[in-house]
Amino acid sequence: MIHHPAVRAVIAVAACILAPPAAADILVLQSNVAGLERGRVLADAETLDVPAGGRVDILRPSGQTRSLRGPFKARVGDLTRGEAADPASWKRVLDDLAAERSAPKREGATRGVSR
Per the CB < 8 A criterion, the answer to whether 57 and 28 are in contact is yes
The whole-chain average pLDDT of the chain stands at 83
Band (7; pLDDT cuts 50, 70, 90) = low
* Residue-wise pLDDT tens digits, 23-62: 579 999 999 999 999 999 999 999 999 999 999 999 999 9
Q: Is 16 within a domain? A: yes
What is the domain extent for residue 83? 5-102
Q: Is 114 within a domain? A: no
Q: Is 95 within a domain? A: yes
Q: Is 107 within a domain? A: no
Q: Is 48 within a domain? A: yes
* Residue-wise pLDDT tens digits, 56-79: 999 999 999 999 999 999 999 999
Q: Is 115 within a domain? A: no
Number of domains in the chain: 1
Band (100; pLDDT cuts 50, 70, 90) = confident
Cis peptide before 20 (omega within 30 of 0): no
Measuring CA to CA, which residue among 14, 7, 80, 5 is closest to residue 42?
80
Q: Is 77 within a domain? A: yes
Q: What is the pTM of this model?
A: 0.70
Q: Is 76 within a domain? A: yes
